[in-house]
Structure 1
């Protein structure tokens, strides 16, 4: 599990040791569903390599992109659902091939009390996701579609490191919560 050494700059050495000991290294292919609506979340994912997109479905069945997760990031919704033993209200899909470390439920609370860096990591994650959601709401409410599209494409480029964006018009419209018509 040498790939998880990227967390050495974030966590205390003792916590990195426990992540090695109790975490499970998982790999997913592009398009794989990692968390799904209405399912219990069995672990909290910490992304090592690749990108996940996190979506939410409205009552009509239409999905909207909430945020992306990339290296060194984790899903706050997974953490919250896992602690409260609730079913997922989001879906996480591998945007590209992904490696992550699955943190078991039993360690989430323990580490929160035991390691200040874990508490900071979790709180920072909640704050980042909250700010991303505010940015999305602001974008939908106050920005025209052309500027939202440009911001979307720039974010896809930043995450992939490539100027080639592999996405259909339908997917882009869906993730921007608009229609192609």
Structure 2
């Protein structure tokens, strides 16, 4: 469990406790890490792979919230774990992923014992809150074409790649739109030379 590689600020005592008391688990691509209504008994730190966090309605429609990359933690699982609430979100491994699972009882204890953990938790809350505000701004104040560009940019950044392996149907589902609308807007982006459309993926050329 190479904790220092992804969380270099953690002090030695905290790293030792993580190695002793936390579990490193492997999650294959496509497998869920959290489900809506699930009891939260631990929080998670990402050490490898990519995790998609999203909401799901009663009809199975998804609303994409954000990605978790190596070095990130799930802020909502931290909040739910601390308050001993059930999950209001879904989290799924996009690619083969490794996660450090920290049992609930150590969350508060480490907040008072380790400054680096305290600041890490606060920074995790702050960054996720700002990211959600940005998402809300785009939903409330932007047209669908602007939302689509913002969505593609987020995937480009999170995947660290210009190749976005998403189908139009999936994009439409996560943007609460229709496949026809997304298909039309993607063709407009393609005509402008901003993307290239392939059978199995979208290739980003220049979204700026």
| Short-chain TM bin | over 0.9
C-alpha contact (below 8 Å) 1:54/1:93 kept by paired residues: yes
RCO comparison, higher one (Cα < 8 Å, 6+): 1
Aligned to 2:15: 16
Structure 2 gaps of 5+ residues are 181-208
The answer to whether the Cα contact below 8 Å between 1:7 and 1:16 also exists between their aligned partners in 2 is no
1:18 & 1:158 partners in 2: Cα distance? 32
Q: How does 1:51-66 map to 2 (within 5 A)?
A: 51-58=50-57, 61-66=60-65
How many residue pairs match? The answer is 180
Indicate the residue corresponding to 2:199 in structure 1. none
> Which string of whole-angstrom CA distances, capped at 9 and with x for unpartnered residues, describes residues 76-112 of structure 1?
1111111222111000011111111111111101001
Partners in 1 of 2:86 and 2:66 — Cα distance?
Answer: 19
The unaligned stretches of length 5 or more in structure 1 are none
Distance change >3 Å, CA 153–CA 91, structure 1 → 2: same
From the CA coordinates, give the structure whose radius of gyration is larger: 2
Whole-Å separation in 1 of the counterparts to 2:142 and 2:112? 42
The residue number in structure 2 matching 1:171 is 170
State the SS of the aligned residue for 1:96. Answer: strand
SS in 1 for 2:36: coil
CA positional deviation for 1:16: 1.0
TM-score of the pair, normalised by structure 1 = 0.93
Summarize the Cα distance change of 1:173–1:8 in structure 2 as closer, same or farther, 3 Å threshold.
closer
Task: Report the secondary structure of 1:64's partner residue.
Answer: strand
RMSD: 1.5
